[in-house]
Amino acid sequence: MSTADFLIPGDVTTPLGFLAGGIHCGVKRKSLDLALLTSESPCAVAGLFTTNRVKAAPVRHCRHVVARGRARAVVINSGNANACTGPRGERDAEEMARLTADALGVPAEEVLVASTGIIGEPLPMSAIREGIRRVSSGLRRSGTEAALAILTTDSFPKVAAAEADIGDVRVRIGGMAKGAGMIHPHLATTLCFLTTDAALSPGALDAALRAAVSDSFNRITVDGDMSTNDTVILLANGAAGGDPIDGNAALGRFQGALSRVASELAEMVVRDGEGATRVVRFRLAGAASDAEAERGAYRLAGSLLVKTALHGGEPNWGRMMAALGSAGIELAEDRVQIFVGPVQLVRGGLGVMEARAPAAAQLGRSKVDIRVDLGLGSGEATVLTCDLSEEYIRINGSYAAERSAVS
Amino acid sequence: MSTADFLIPGDVTTPLGFLAGGIHCGVKRKSLDLALLTSESPCAVAGLFTTNRVKAAPVRHCRHVVARGRARAVVINSGNANACTGPRGERDAEEMARLTADALGVPAEEVLVASTGIIGEPLPMSAIREGIRRVSSGLRRSGTEAALAILTTDSFPKVAAAEADIGDVRVRIGGMAKGAGMIHPHLATTLCFLTTDAALSPGALDAALRAAVSDSFNRITVDGDMSTNDTVILLANGAAGGDPIDGNAALGRFQGALSRVASELAEMVVRDGEGATRVVRFRLAGAASDAEAERGAYRLAGSLLVKTALHGGEPNWGRMMAALGSAGIELAEDRVQIFVGPVQLVRGGLGVMEARAPAAAQLGRSKVDIRVDLGLGSGEATVLTCDLSEEYIRINGSYAAERSAVS
C-alpha cells in the first residue's frame, strides 16, 4: 500500500464535481428512501454485481450501462428491491433511469439504478416519479442524506473518503454503502457507491475496482446469504485534472487508496451486521494454500455454532476445531494453534486450560482478532464477520411486518 | 418399500436378545449420562462415521471394531465428547471398551464406544469407571434409560422400532438417536444405534445401513455444523433365527424396514433441533439433475434468512428465490413455482399476492411442506430441516455455562 494515501472525513461528494441528495418519497413509511448521486461532467464507470442467478431488474440495467463504460448519475431507492418483479420490474427500472436523465438533462443510457429492500413487490412508481423530480432539484455538495436514503435495516450510515497524491495530482475518493443482512462474498456484496475525481479509463477503473473489492467486500460475511441486488459502482470524472492515470505504479497507488475506502466501508457493514454486537477478524495461516486458507476462514466465519459462541463471549475452541475439520481442507489436528488476540487458546490441537479466562476477556471486546495457524504450509487468508445474536432472529423473523410498521 | 414392514412401539431392545441400561454416573451434574447396549450373542456390525477431519477418539476406536465386522456391546456417555483430547482421549476410549468387556465377559475388541457433549475436555474417568461397573450389572430388556442417557441438549428421547416378515422369519429392528445441534449431512449424522435380530453378513449389513442412512440421516440439517462424533451403528445378532438374509428381494425388504426406523429417528432429530418450533420439508423438483435438486434443497434449508422467516411464519418467498439463485444450480427465474402445502405462493417466478394469507396460515403449523418446481428437468430431492429461533442462539451462546449449570 502506498504511503501517499490517507483517509479523510468525507463521503461520495468529497471528490470534486460530485453532487448528491436524499429524500423521503414514500417507499418506506417515514425514513429517507430515495438517493441521487451525479457528476457535473461525464464519468468513466466500473461496476461489480451479484453472482446470484436471480438478479434484480436494476442490476440487469446497470450491467448494460457499465458495459458501455460511461455514466453520469446513480438513482437509488431503499425499501423495495425491485427483484423478482418480472417485466414490470424491468420497465420500472428503465423508467427510473429515464426520469432521472430528464431531470438532470443527461442521456438516459448514462444513468445507473439501484434498489434495496423487500423482494417480490412492485415498486410504488407514483411515489418514485414525484421523488425523482424533487431529489434532483435539491442536489448539493454533501452525501449525508444520500447515505441515509440507501439504508434498510442498517443502524448507521456508512461513508468514507481518502486522498492520494498521484504524480503531481491530488485525487480524492469517496464512498457510501449499505449493509446489515444478506451479506456474503460472491463478487460484489451489498450496495456500495464509490466516486473519484481522478481520471481513469474504464478498463483501468475496472481493474482497480476488482482489486479493491477482492480485498474488502469479498472478505466479509454476515449470514452467508447472497443478495439479488449486490452492486458496487465506481464513477471517475477526472475533475482533479491531469492525464488519465496509467502505468503500474500510478494505478497501484490509486488502487491502494480505493482499497482503503472500500475496506473502511466493508468493516462498517460487518460492524452493523443485523444484530451484531462485535466484529470478528479470522486470520487463518499455515494452510496448504491461500485457497484452502480462505475456505477454512469462511467456514469458521460461517459456522452458526462458532458465531453464537462468539456472541456469548465464550472461548469454545472445540467448535472452531469442528468447523475447521469440516471445511474440506487439509488439516492435522495436532498441529492446530488458535490465538484470541494475544492469548493462545489451543496448542497442538489441545485446549490451553489456563487460557480460558483471559481468552474470555478478549472475546468480550467489540473487536476480536482470532488467529489460527494450521502448521502445514504458507497459505493465508483473512475474513471479517460478526457474531450471531437473538436480535438477528428477531429482525429477520418478521422483516415484512417490521418494515411496514417502522420504516 | 415392502408392504410387509411396519412401525411398532419399541426401542433398541425390541429385537430379541438385546439388553440395555442407562444411569447417572457423574459426567453431567444430574441427568442420565451413561448408556450400555449389549447382545446376548455375537453380532455382525456395520457403522458410518463423521467425515469431519477432526474425529473424536471413540470414533477412531469404533472404526477399528467395525472393520473387523463383529461386536457385542456399545458403551455411550453424554456430557463430554472426548474429542480434541489427544493421546489421553485415545487411552480413555480404549479403557471404556476394556472395562465394559470385562464387566460383560466379552472380548474388548468387540465393544464399541461413543461419546457426545462438550469438546476439548478430558473425560472424568473415575466417574465413568464406577459407572460402567454399575450400568453393566443392571441391564434389562428396556431401552428407556439408555435412550435418555445418550441425550445432550435434546428435549425428548428418540426411539423407534419396526417389524418385517422376510421369507418365513419375522425380524425386528430397533433404534435410538440423539440430536439437537451440529446436525448436517455428511455421511452419518448425530449418534444413532440400531439393532436387529435378523441374521446378516457384515457386508449385507453395511449395504443396508448405507442405503437407510442416505434416505434419512443424510437428508436432514439443523444448523449446517458437522460434529466430530457423528456415529451410526447397526448390530445384527440373528436371534430371530433362519438363514442369513441374502438375495436382492430379501435384502431390499430388510433395508426398507431399516429405513422406516432410521427415517423416524431422523425426523425426531429435526423436530427436536435446538430451538426448533417447526419441522420443514423442502421438496425440490424439476431440477436439471438429482444432484442439482439436492444442492438447491440444502441451500434453502441452510439459508439463515429462509429459516428465520420460517420461524416468523412469514411467506417470504423472495428469500427463497434469492437462496435458489445462489445455490450454483441451473435456474430460470420465470419458471420457478413454489407451493406451501397446497397453496401456490410463486407462479413463474412472481409472487401470487392472494396466496399471502393462506400461505402464512400453512407456515404457522408445526409441520410445513414446501415444494419448489424449477421447471427445467426431472431432478428431485427432499431435505428436512427446522426453523431458526432466538432459542437456538440462547442455547448455543452459553453452552458451557448452561451445561455445568443444568445438566
Q: Of A326, A338, A316, whose CA–CA distance to A387 is shortest?
A: A316
Q: With CB atoms and an 8 Å threshold, state whether A314 touches B401.
A: yes
Q: Which residues of chain A carry a pLDDT beneath 50?
A: 1-3, 185-189, 399-407
Beta-bridge partners for A249: none
CA distance A237 to chain B (A): 34
Of A86, A227, A393, the CB nearest to B390: A393
Q: Which residue of B has its CA nearest to A390?
A: B390
B305 contacts A351? CB cut-off 8 A: no
Report the range of poorest mean pLDDT among A13-22, B73-82, B270-279. B270-279
Q: Is A174 helix (H, G, I), strand (E, B) or coil?
A: strand
pLDDT recorded at residue B226: 61
Question: Does B312 sit within 8 Å of A397, measured CB to CB?
Answer: yes
**Which of A53, A331, A346, A352 to probe by mutation at the B interface, max B CB count within 10 Å?**
A53
Complete DSSP assignment for B173-224:
EEEEEE-SSS---SSS-SEEEEEE-S---HHHHHHHHHHHHHHTGGGEESSS
The pLDDT of residue A160? 96
Asked if residue B125 lies in contact with residue B115, where contact means CB atoms within 8 angstroms, the answer is no
Rg (CA), chain B: 22
Please give the residue of chain B at the shortest CA–CA distance from A387. Answer: B397
CB contact under 8 A, A54 and B120: no
CB contact under 8 A, A397 and B311: yes
User: Which of A51, A84, A92, A184 to mutate against chain B (most B CBs within 10 Å)?
Assistant: A84
The arithmetic mean of pLDDT across residues B214-232, rounded, is: 73
- Say what the ipTM of the complex is: 0.72
Contact check, Cβ <8 Å, A228/B84? no
Tens-place pLDDT, residues B361-386:
998 888 899 999 999 999 999 888 88
- Residue B354 CB neighbours (<10 A): 10
CA closest to A394 among chain B residues? B390
Name the residue among A181, A180, A184, A174 with its Cα closest to residue A233: A174
Q: Residues spanned by CATH 3.10.20.340 within chain B?
A: 279-388
**B84: closest chain A residue by CA:** A350
What local confidence, expressed as pLDDT, does residue A182 receive? Answer: 53
Nearest by CB to residue B225, choosing from A305, A351, A393, is A305
Domain A5-271 grouped into CATH 3.60.70.12: yes
Give the pLDDT of residue A225: 58
Q: Which residue of A has its CA nearest to B325?
A: A53
Q: Is A266 helix (H, G, I), strand (E, B) or coil?
A: helix
The answer to whether B64 touches B97, Cβ cutoff 8 Å, is no
Q: How many CB atoms lie within 10 A of CB B6?
A: 12
What is the pLDDT at residue A266? 86
B401: closest CA of chain A, how far (Å): 9
Q: Model pTM greater than 0.95?
A: no
Domain B279-388 falls under CATH 1.25.40.340: no
Hey, which residues of A are catalytic here? 189
Q: A396 to chain B: which residues are within 8 Å by CB?
A: 304-305, 308-309, 312
What is the distance in angstroms between the Cα of B133 and the nearest Cα belonging to chain A? Answer: 30
Q: Which three cell numbers stand for residue A385?
A: 464477520
Q: How far apart are CA A265 and CA B195, in angstroms?
A: 57
Q: Give the gap in angstroms from C-alpha A322 to the nearest C-alpha of chain B.
A: 6
CA B355, distance to chain mean position in Å, is 35
Out of A305, A308, A318, closest to residue B120 by CB: A318
**Mind listing the pLDDT tens digit for each residue in B162-195?**
999 998 899 999 999 997 655 544 333 479 999 9
Q: Are A37 and A18 in contact, with CB atoms under 8 Å apart?
A: yes
Q: Is B350's CB within 8 Å of A120's CB?
A: yes
Tell me, what's the pLDDT at B223?
Answer: 56
Annotated active-site residue in B100, B189, B196, B231: B189
Is residue B398 scored above 80 in pLDDT? Answer: no
Find out whether A335 and A291 touch, Cβ atoms under 8 Å: no
- Amino acid at the residue B111: V
Kind and range of the H or E element at B35? strand B34-49
Provide, as residue numbers in chain B, all residues whose Cβ is less than 8 Å from the Cβ of A364.
Answer: none
Determine the distance in angstroms separating the CA of A399 from the nearest CA of chain B, rounded to an integer.
8
Residue type present at position A380: E
pLDDT at A183: 52
* Average pLDDT score over chain B: 88
Listed range (A339-353, B26-40, B212-226, B256-270) with the worst mean pLDDT: B212-226
Beta-carbon count within 10 A of B64 CB:
11
Please tell me the distance from the alpha carbon of residue B250 to that of residue B334, in angstroms, as a whole number: 46
* Chain segment A257-273, per-residue pLDDT in tens: 999 999 899 888 888 87
Contact A326/B396, CB-based, under 8 Å?
no
CB B392 within 8 A of CB A388: no
Q: Which residue has the cell 440462547?
A: B394
* Residues carrying CATH 3.60.70.12, chain B: 5-271
> How close, in Å, is residue B290 to chain A by CA atoms?
19
Query: DSSP secondary-structure letter at A108?
Result: G
Q: How much is the pLDDT for A155? A: 84
* Subunit contact B54:A321, Cβ cutoff 8 A: yes
Say which of B54, B322, B349 has its CB closest to residue A227.
B322
* Under 8 Å between Cβ of A350 and A339: no
| % of chain B with per-residue pLDDT over 70 | 92
Q: Is the pLDDT reported for residue B54 higher than 90? A: no
Q: Mutate one of A363, A396, A398 to test the B interface: name it (highest B CB count within 10 A).
A: A396
Whether pLDDT at B324 is above 70: yes
The secondary structure element, H or E, covering residue B318 is: helix B317-325
Contact between residue B202 and residue B69 where contact means Cβ atoms under 8 Å apart = yes
Measure A264 CA to nearest chain B CA, in Å: 26
pLDDT of residue A4: 57
pLDDT of B122 > 60? The answer is yes
Contacts of A376 in chain B (CB under 8 A): none
d(CA A182, CA A293): 23
Partner-chain contact A54 B225, CB within 8 Å: no
Q: A394: which chain B residues are within 8 Å (Cβ-Cβ)?
A: 390
- Under 8 Å CB pairs connecting chains A and B tally to 206
B311-321 pLDDT tens trace: 888 888 988 99
> How far apart are alpha carbons A131 and A135 in whole angstroms?
6
pLDDT band at B403 (very low <50, low <70, confident <90, very high): very low
Inter-chain residue contact A312 with B397, CB threshold 8 Å = yes
Please count the residues of chain B: 407
With an 8 Å Cβ cutoff, are A85 and B118 in contact? no
- The pLDDT assigned to B187 comes to 32
Judge: A308–B182 Cβ closer than 8 Å, yes or no: no
Residue B272: predicted pLDDT? 82
Choosing among A54, A311, A404, which should be mutated to test the B contact, i.e. which has the most B CBs within 10 A? Answer: A54
- For the packed helices B125-136 and B86-104, what is the interaxial angle rounded to 10 degrees? 20
